[in-house]
Amino acid sequence: MKIEGKVATIIFKNSTNSWTVMLLKRDKGYITAVGETQDLEVGDELELEGEETTHKVYGEQFQFTTYKKLLPKTDAALIQYIAENIKGVGKKTAALIVDLFGEETVNTIRYTPSKLNDIKGLNETKIDDLNRFFNEEWEKWNVIEYLSSFNISVVTANKIYQTLGSDTVKIVKENPYSLIDFVKKLDFKTVDEIGKSLGVNLDSDQRVDTGIVYAINKVTEFGHTCVEEENLIKFASDILEVGTKEIKNGITRLILNSKLYMQTIDEKNYIFKRSFYLAEENIASNILLRAKDKPLGVDYTKQIENVSKRNAIELSKEQKEAISNSLNNKLTIITGGPGTGKTTIIKCIIDILEEMKKEYVLCAPTGRAAKRIKETTGKEAKTLHRLLEITKVDDNDVDMFYELPVTPIDTDVVIVDEASMIDCMLMNNLFKALNSSTQVIMVGDVNQLPSVGAGNVLKDIIHSNVINTVYLKHIYRQSAMSDIIVNAHRVNEGEYPEFKTKDTDLFYIKTDSIESTLAEISSLISYRIESFATLNVLKDLQVLTPMKKTQLGTIELNTLIQEVLNPKATTKKEKEFNGKIYREGDKVMQIINNYDKKFAINGDFFDGIYNGDIGYIKSIDNVNQKLIVLFDEEKEVVYEFDELDQLEHAFAVTIHKSQGSEFDYVILPLYTGYQKLFTRNLLYTAMTRAKKMLVIVGSTNIINYMVDNIESKNRITGLTAKIVAKKG
């Protein structure tokens, strides 16, 4: 169904996904139209294609899948259109043009612009601007209309046009699969539909090669940096519906063109995307560059004794060796579980470096991890993104992340905390920024969940056995009194946790249904936990869960907890967005890296709010359609209402999102869910997030299942093999 109309009002537009709600004036009355739009303004004449629907709240609407701009049909509208779009041409001059040429105005401007020379107020530059604008607009909307016929949205079609310009249709007809090279977010299935519509053979080289790259992209979404060749052949063959011979030939072509790389590991061939392969190569080269340097052999006994006395710390032999090794080697890894003294070692190393007048940088992969290391050491710490000055990058675009220019780090020593969270691409960029002379100390718990991005870098480096690695195993006296820490280590060793009923910081509440689990959580946050602990439930307590969906996932839990901890009140303003209520006082989390987002601290402005940052809605301004979130009790960040998809409620967060953070009090529901998620290192990671108290609510069977479930889907990477091969 097609309708025409003029944009009367743009009611709402989401800047992230371009979803637009607008009021359209038609010959007979008005209609609300909803869909994705690009570069629309009030007054634009449109032809929309879609269907009439009835929204349960907003009533009758026209939901369009595509649209095109129409040139203004009346003299008054055309005069307005020219005046608004051509710099230096006002309504008076535009009226002279329309009066003289009438219905032929647009054709005259496009095809015989020399006829405009006699019009007062126009010069050669303005005539050229008119001609260029009308031709570009006509061409752009013709291209968009052509692409829309393949069910490509106007927004995506416009992005394609912005990239390819006047050659768009020609390129699409010659090789529709090349669109993926120009517009990274295009899905292969969308492009394949174009290819099939244009009669491209299923076994064409273009289709097969693009499909293989799509297949390897799908595989690496699960954290792998490569895939076994046999598995890739089968997977790609199923997707493309062609034989294995065609897939093998395609892989060979892509390798010859350096789009894919092959590495033999344990007599099996593995296929890599170019960026992952070269990133691992660079990491391996940097590892070996530092590994080949012999330890300095300096005796730091005196400095270690001095720092121990100054801080009234009794260091163990294990800790002293870790400090000495770190100061003597070009690259050191310090790994250990909670309570094994990692932070104490960092503090002592920093003290000695300052005493030696050596420059150092303290950093971590996330904002919360950087904040935590700053709190524990008292020293300034930066996120790796801020340290490397990474800005304006799509984190999901691996190729862009590999090619990224980074700011060189000019310092003597770099200390990286929470190193297990660093993925392949970020580690590559860190090494790109370092001088060969810079000492690197990586600190992390290798038994926690691997990085969100692809790779298992810390574990791979340790497994190569070429780097000085310090394993901290001793639990120190104060930590040994914590049942959380003791039982986290038990879980890591494959033993079931032991629960006490008193004199403990680890509690277990057994439930027999989802409903009883939810009831226990509700009563705990309502009043019970406050009866035996002094805390601000909203700020000191965090609910962690393995998943987003199901009744015990973050989506449902956040709705439940919001009703308990921050219910609707006449004193609190709120805003509904995408079916969620955002209310003053709500706990929220930033869910994407926004490198350009400004925040204020005491009147000074800075850039950058990052994925995983947690804050609270300070105020909501419904008149000006914005709200303010306070992060870290000092960063005030303004969000326009159409930016609210960057935030989600954080009363409950996934265990994955909690990495690098610690919370005083944690409630962990473990009753039911997607069992492949329920692994030993997920339970271990969740337990190690709690500092003062952990309450597990759920099923003994699930807890024991998690302890027994060593993650079967280990990440497939080539880094360890590359390091070993380069070492010879």
Read off the pLDDT of residues 217-268 as tens digits, 9 standing for 90 and up.
888 888 999 999 999 999 999 999 999 999 999 999 999 999 999 999 999 9
Higher pLDDT, 696 or 609: 696
Q: Mean pLDDT check: name the lowest of 266-275, 550-559, 593-602.
A: 593-602
E strands, 309-351, are 331-336
Q: At what angle do helices 554-565 and 514-523 cross, to 10 degrees?
A: 40
Q: What is the pLDDT of residue 502?
A: 87
- Is the pLDDT score of 136 beyond 90? no
Region at 297 (left for phi over 0; alpha for psi -120 to 50; beta for the rest): left
Q: What is the mean pLDDT of residues 355-383?
A: 90
Q: What is the pLDDT of residue 408?
A: 94
- For residue 474, what are the contacts with CB-CB under 8 A and spacing of at least 6? 316, 318, 340, 341
Q: What is the mean pLDDT of residues 543-554?
A: 94
Contact 259, 212 (CB under 8 A): no
C-alpha–C-alpha distance, residues 449 and 655, integer Å: 9
Secondary structure element (H or E) that encloses residue 632, with its range: none
The tokens for 171 are: 């390129």
Query: pLDDT class for 655, splitting at 50, 70, 90?
Result: very high
Q: Mean pLDDT check: name the lowest of 375-389, 420-434, 507-521.
A: 375-389
Residue pointed to by tokens 């699409």 = 172
- Is the pLDDT score of 395 beyond 60? no
Q: What is the mean pLDDT of residues 587-598?
A: 85
Tell me how many degrees the CA angle 66-70-74 measures, rounded to the nearest 5. Answer: 150
Backbone angles phi, psi at 105, to 5 degrees: -55, -50
Higher pLDDT, 682 or 597: 682
Q: What is the pLDDT of residue 342?
A: 92
Q: Mean pLDDT check: name the lowest of 2-16, 559-573, 586-600, 653-667.
A: 2-16
Q: What is the mean pLDDT of residues 588-599?
A: 84
Q: What is the pLDDT of residue 392?
A: 63
Furthest-apart CA atoms within the chain: distance in Å: 95
Contacts 24+ apart (CB under 8 A), 26-31: 31/3, 31/5, 31/60, 31/61, 31/62
Contact 355, 311 (CB under 8 A): no
Q: What is the mean pLDDT of residues 139-167?
A: 82
The predicted-structure confidence for 21-70, as pLDDT tens digits, reads as follows 888 888 888 888 988 887 777 878 888 888 888 877 667 889 888 888 87
pTM above 0.85, yes or no: no
Q: From 282, 263, 352, select the one nearest 718 (Cα to Cα).
A: 263
Contact 370, 383 (CB under 8 A): yes
Q: What is the pLDDT of residue 178?
A: 87
β-bridge mates for residue 693, sequence order: 665
Contact 208, 247 (CB under 8 A): yes
Query: Residue 690 in 3-state DSSP?
Result: strand
Inter-CA distances, 56 with 53, 59, 60, 556, Å: 10, 6, 9, 22
- The percent of residues in the chain predicted with pLDDT above 70, rounded, is 97
> What value does the mean pLDDT of the chain take?
89
- For residue 571, what are the contacts with CB-CB under 8 A and spacing of at least 6? none
Query: Residue 335 in 3-state DSSP?
Result: strand
Query: pLDDT class for 396, splitting at 50, 70, 90?
Result: low
Q: What is the pLDDT of residue 242?
A: 95
Query: Residue 696 in 3-state DSSP?
Result: strand
- Is the pLDDT score of 418 beyond 60? yes
- For residue 457, what are the contacts with CB-CB under 8 A and spacing of at least 6? 283, 419, 422, 423, 424, 427, 451, 719
- DSSP notation for 572-592: S-EEEETTEEEETT-EEEE-S
The predicted-structure confidence for 308-331, as pLDDT tens digits, reads as follows 999 888 888 999 999 999 999 999
